[in-house]
Amino acid sequence: KPVSAVKPTAAPPLAEPGAGKGLRSEHQEKMNRMRQRIAQRLKEAQNTCATLTTFNEIDMSNIQEMRARHKDAFLKKHNLKLGFISAFVKASAFALQEQPVVNAVIDDTTKEVVYRDYIDISVAVATPQGLVVPVIRNVEAMNYADIEQTIRELGEKARKSELAIEDMDGGTFTISNGGSAILGVHAIFDRPVAVGGKVEVRPMMYVALTYDHRLIDGREAMTFLRKIKAAVEDPRVLLLDL
């Protein structure tokens, strides 16, 4: 028997874009003064700096051991927790004194290099409203307890949204993403490394120095990172001014 032709069925009509998903809307909010200032500084840096990034890695074994050994006594004496960021702040101040060009900045108006004899380090702090970068001033004159106390005070002000513009302005150097250079510190991971001709698993951290290549050469950047590495891996370097 002949097979009768099957009538094609009509395709269903195409749905309108977004149909059945509710209305799509957007709204606008005015940027607060803090966010405006952050945006301005970032744009200025993008427009003026010739940025370059150099990496190194740090063995965190000794600093972890030092923290584990002394954190209870540190807490008892100073009523402060001993963290890792203070070690990097202290090491950065040491390295900046050894490599003052990293603490300098170019004045594009006068075409001069401005060398700062003080060290103001900006440290990133997470808040419910986003990341802010308050400044620890005159770090070169601080010990670990001074640094931890200042970080705690600035952190509390940040979380309560009480930071003033002045608290975040004028840093000469920045940790974790102000000046001509930013030191980014990464997470600590156990990795195999060569130690004395043998392979050992050590807690390692990558650090990245992003800097203005108009002012800082690659050799100076590497020397600076080696100073950071030496001071964090062996804190006695700071005590003996090595």
Three-state SS letters, 39-78 = HHHHHHHHHHCCEEEEEEEEECHHHHHHHHHHHHHHHHHH
Name the DSSP class of 153: H
Query: 132: Cβ–Cβ under 8 A, 6 or more apart, which residues?
Result: 34, 38, 124, 125, 158, 163, 168
Q: Single out the catalytic residue among 72, 107, 190, 217.
A: 217
> Does 213 participate in catalysis according to the annotation?
yes
Q: Single out the catalytic residue among 169, 186, 213, 234.
A: 213
Residue 93 CA to residue 138 CA, distance in Å, equals 9
* Phi, psi for 116 (deg, rounded to 5): -85, 130
End-to-end CA distance of the chain: 101
Q: Is there a contact between 19 and 156 (Cβ–Cβ < 8 Å)?
A: no
The residues annotated with a catalytic role in the active site are 213, 217
